[in-house]
Amino acid sequence: MAYDLMDQLKAQRGFITYDFETLSDQVMKNITDQTTLLSQLHKLSIASTEVYPNRDKTYELVKRCYILFDELSENYQEQLDRYELPPNSSFVRLWLAQTFESAEEIYQCMKYEDENVPFDKCIKVLGWNNSRFDIALLWDALDCELWTMGVPIGSLNNTKSITVTHKKSHMKLQFIDAENLFGPMTLKACVKDYGDKSEHKDVFPYELINSKNWNE
């Protein structure tokens, strides 16, 4: 603004969204004399949408989904090898590797044509109301030999933001709770204001699927 260069400013319009689905397993385990663990959650799938900005201010969406079934597929090990992941890596870690690759492509869409103009190599990864839930399901995959986790903003029970940096490409994924980013609003209002205007939401049959019958 001070140098009258606002017309040259490029906003970071590209981003990624993600969401977990889990299965509940009844445990009924006594932790202490006064505490009983009733159930435990198991990760079933993680879905994401990559938002690529075009020059005409439109967007292209790419949707991906990784599920527990993927770990049983014949080409699963090939996918791990492609991203140089250990052979026992979970589908969540595979999703992270793919997300880093996609973040690099989004960055190429957003950066300045003049390579001398700096542009932060960081892509936002948004979840909704996930500071207490989804981010906790990512903890065990956020730090490994390929990428490293920064210091979280917030607490362990309410992580508002956390940045993960790829050691080779130096690409950064900034996981943010969109509810904290956009301020008080409902998910429906957020989709209407920032999404593709569609309010359709698929229904997951939680009552029918559990950790014992998911692969039947």
Judge whether 179 and 109 are in contact, CB under 8 Å.
Answer: no
Domain ranges of the chain: 13-194
Which residue carries 């003049």 as its tokens? Answer: 114
Non-local (6+) Cβ contacts of 170 within 8 A are 121
pTM for this entry: 0.80
Judge whether 29 and 35 are in contact, CB under 8 Å.
Answer: no
What CATH number labels 13-194?
A: 3.30.420
pLDDT digits (tens, 9 = 90+) for 32-80: 877 877 777 778 888 898 888 877 767 788 888 887 778 888 899 999 9
CA atoms within 13 A on the CB side of 176: 16
pLDDT digits (tens, 9 = 90+) for 71-130: 888 899 999 999 999 998 999 999 999 999 999 999 888 887 777 777 789 999 988 877
